[in-house]
Amino acid sequence: MAKRSTDLRFQPSGGSRAAQIPVGKKQKCSIERLANDGRGLAFVEGRSWFIAGALPGEEVEARVLGTHSKIVEARAERILTASPLRRAEPCAHAKRCGGCSLQHLPHAEQLALKQQLLAEQLSRAGVQPQVWAAPLVGPELAYRRRARIAVRWDVKAKQLEVGFRAAGSQEIVAIADCPVLVASLQPIMRGLAPLLRSLQKPQAVGHVELFSGSACALLVRHTAPLPDADLARLQAFCAEHAAQLWLHGGLPGEDLPQPFEAGQRLGYRLEGWDLQLQYWPGDFIQVNAPVNEAMVAQALDWLAPQADERVLDLFCGLGNFALPLARQAREVLAVEGVAAMVERAAGNATANGLDNLQVLQADLSTPLLGAAWTAPGFSAVLLDPPRDGAWAVVRQLGALGAQRVLYVSCNPATLARDAAELLKQGYRLKRAGILDMFPQTSHVEAMLLFEID
């Protein structure tokens, strides 16, 4: 019997498989339009190229960051033919840093892109507002009051890397000046890398966070106990910059960051309502203070809670909306799924003397109906869910009897899905608009008002 060959080559039934494009390969591309996330979109040999830093009408040389099937992730390395819209980035690190993706696009064009994205998502879901509101905007730079700084110990170089993650990689870009940070954090940012590298045990530092509000703060997360000398250096640095020092060791039983000095508090004010909200590092807060206050004002203006009404605030967090609502409504019920945030919101209500605000914990990923607290009904509902949206809640909102629903979202896709469901329940979309919470990035926040005709 003849020996059977063992070097047969089989071809997939769908035809020949396209060769993968190696990471690092450079390719000339003509940009046709912007994708939803603000990257330039080009088509080369049957593949869709999503190119960071490119604008429509441009000819660029792009470097491949990764591929998946017929999708190529890339970054513009050289602009061969520039768009007339292109501007010089305000930050010298914009081409490498992964924090800001749209600095090469004028702010007005950034807003137009975000409004277009929201409109497209709503349209695909069959939703159209009666009125488009003007974008809610604030400063395009120096707005960020919270930032997470990446830290990594380079074993070979025996040096601590400090900065922000590079776009499309785990590389850390050393940055001393970040133009999107608020002014009060700039001196801390400039001195941070020298401080951390001066520690006796820098390899114990996991990452660092900066905060600005009623006080500035430096949070150091560490993977091993820090020597007394290092704690003294950190304390002296914070004293020099009038900042609080918080530590988080990640040790058993230490689930929350702890203030280095007893009695330290972090917080921010909502001036329009004479409110002070306290929080701990790790709690969710909106990073853009001016837009946050304008967002709360617009939400209350659109929802128009009356002095005799009962209002429901879902996904209430610290009480960012619930406390101002309680200044105007007869009664506010605020609901949150995270126990720590329920405690924080209740404490904020008490500290601000709001006895008409009740805060309770409930799993908002499950249906609402059947819960005792839904029985009396509500005149109006405000919800500000995470990126996954509020599908379980939205499917039953109509049964609560609310005539008005205000939805704040950080994800236009899930917002559009939930909006279509509200329309099925008899609501009409009266107003819609974007909130420019994150200038220089492609993140889109939006606000929608629904009413029963």
Q: What is the DSSP string of 302-366?
A: HH---TT-EEEEES-TTTTTHHHHHHHSSEEEEEES-HHHHHHHHHHHHHTT-TTEEEEE--TTS
Check whether 76 has a pLDDT greater than 70.
yes
- The mean predicted confidence, pLDDT, of the chain is 92
Residue 250 has a pLDDT of: 63
Residue 11 has a pLDDT of: 43
Distances (CA, A) of 5 to 10, 11, 147, 187: 13, 17, 62, 71
Q: Identify the residue whose tokens are 């703060």.
A: 217
Check whether 247 has a pLDDT greater than 80.
yes
Q: Identify the residue whose tokens are 């409930």.
A: 362
Check whether 254 has a pLDDT greater than 90.
no
Average pLDDT score over residue span 354-383: 92
Residue 170 has a pLDDT of: 82
Q: What are the structural domains of the chain?
A: 26-86 (2.40.50.140), 111-139+288-452 (3.40.50.150), 146-266 (2.40.50.1070)
Residue 367 has a pLDDT of: 84
Reduce the DSSP state of residue 397 to 3 states and report it: helix
Average pLDDT score over residue span 121-128: 96
Q: Which residues pair with 215 in a beta bridge?
A: none
Check whether 152 has a pLDDT greater than 80.
yes
Average pLDDT score over residue span 351-364: 97
Average pLDDT score over residue span 308-317: 97
Q: Is residue 300 within 8 Å of residue 328, measured between CB atoms?
A: yes
| 324 or 366, which is more confident | 324
Q: How far apart are CA 178 and CA 110, in angstroms?
A: 19
Average pLDDT score over residue span 11-33: 77
CA atoms within a 13 Å half-sphere pointing along the CA-CB vector of 193: 16
Structure tokens that stand for 77 in this block: 């390395």
Residue 450 has a pLDDT of: 98
Residue 98 has a pLDDT of: 86
Annotated active-site residue in 29, 97, 316, 410: 410
For the chain, the straight-line distance linking the first and the last C-alpha, in angstroms and rounded, comes to 84
Reduce the DSSP state of residue 273 to 3 states and report it: helix
| 37 or 3, which is more confident | 37
Question: Which pTM was predicted?
Answer: 0.91
Q: Is residue 86 within 8 Å of residue 408, measured between CB atoms?
A: no
Structure tokens that stand for 120 in this block: 């497209």
Check whether 14 has a pLDDT greater than 60.
no
Q: How far apart are CA 167 and CA 103, in angstroms?
A: 13
Q: Which residues pair with 290 in a beta bridge?
A: none
Is 410 labeled as catalytic in the residue annotation? yes
Q: How far apart are CA 93 and CA 348, in angstroms?
A: 39
Check whether 10 has a pLDDT greater than 60.
no
Average pLDDT score over residue span 120-136: 97
- The count of residues in the chain is 453
392, burial (CB in 10 Å: exposed 0-12, middle 13-18, buried 19+): middle
Check whether 17 has a pLDDT greater than 60.
no
Q: How confident is the model at residue 256 (pLDDT cuts 50, 70, 90)?
A: confident
| 55 or 371, which is more confident | 55
Residue 453 has a pLDDT of: 79
Q: How confident is the model at residue 179 (pLDDT cuts 50, 70, 90)?
A: very high
Q: Are strands 357-361 and 331-336 parallel, antiparallel or unpaired?
A: parallel
Residue 246 has a pLDDT of: 97
Q: Is residue 232 within 8 Å of residue 245, measured between CB atoms?
A: no
